[in-house]
Amino acid sequence: MARKKRAIFKPASYAMPVSPKTVIVVTDGDGKARRAIELAAKKLGMYVVTCSAGSPTRAHPEDVEREIAEADGELIVVMADDGGQVGEGAGERLIKVLSEHGLLNAVVAAASDTPGVTKIEVKESVTVDGRTTARAVDKAGRKKRSKMLAGDTAEGAAGLHVPVIGIGDPGKVGVDKKGARAMERALREAVVLGKRMRPTPPTQA
């Protein structure tokens, strides 16, 4: 009878590295936004982190990070929403925590045209008809004259070294064929741009 080969145990610290996940945050999480995101993500083979859905986001950042770690696949979508709050809310805090922990590749920033918010510069935007533009868009997904986008949760991406892709408010644009196409294009652009600028892993003590 042939002897069985003894299994070789490899400590976790010596395990073969896996491909890092690409995490995209969409700065909206209400019902219509979630529907548009889920429809688009399904077409692109992306995993949607559902625990952060809602307006405002109520999930703790640790729970979001846990779901990201346990998610199947490498392309992940996270929803973050301040619920219309001006100033730092739960959605913005989530964005900053993911960035600090090296878990943020790109942001799809939903315009809300909220007065008094810090506007952010976009790398590009996707209009209501699914076309890309080097400018920002307004809440309805219409191209603006500048690259500065106004969004109550989107301002959480200010100062972060990740590409920002602007998009109209899914609640205004809708989740019909046109709205879903715009969200799909925005996520596709975010994945492409995000992979070019992978986050730096956090320094271990």
CATH number of the domain that residue 162 is part of:
3.40.50
Query: Which of 6-10, 32-36, 190-194 has the least mean pLDDT?
Result: 6-10
Asked whether residue 3 is domain-assigned, the answer is: no
Q: Is residue 101 part of a domain?
A: yes
- Number of domain units in the chain: 1
Residue 176: per-residue pLDDT: 66
Q: Tens digits of per-residue pLDDT, 25-81? A: 999 999 999 999 999 999 999 999 999 999 999 999 999 999 999 999 899 999 999
| Distance separating alpha carbons of residues 170 and 134, to the nearest angstrom | 20
State the pLDDT at residue 197: 66
Is 15 a domain residue?
no
- Identify whether 31 is part of a domain: yes
Task: Show the domain range for 191.
Answer: 20-196
- Rounded Cα distance between 166 and 112, Å, is 11
pTM of the model: 0.85
Q: Is residue 191 part of a domain?
A: yes
One-character DSSP codes across the chain: -PPPPPPPP--GGGSPP-PPPEEEEES--SHHHHHHHHHHHHHHTPEEE-TT-SSS--S-HHHHHHHHHH-SSSEEEEE---TT-SSS-HHHHHHHHHHHTT---EEEEEP---TTSPPEE-SEEE-TTS-EESS-B-TTS-B-SSSEE--TTGGGGTT-SS-EEEE--HHHH-SSHHHHHHHHHHHHHHHHHHHHTPPPPPPP-
User: Does any domain span residue 9?
Assistant: no
Mean pLDDT of 170-199: 81
User: For residue 13, is it within any domain?
Assistant: no
Tokens of 28: 């909206």
Q: What is the pLDDT of residue 86?
A: 76
Nearest-angstrom CA–CA distance, 169 and 132: 16
Is residue 82 domain-resident? yes
> In DSSP terms, which residues pair with 2 in a beta bridge?
none
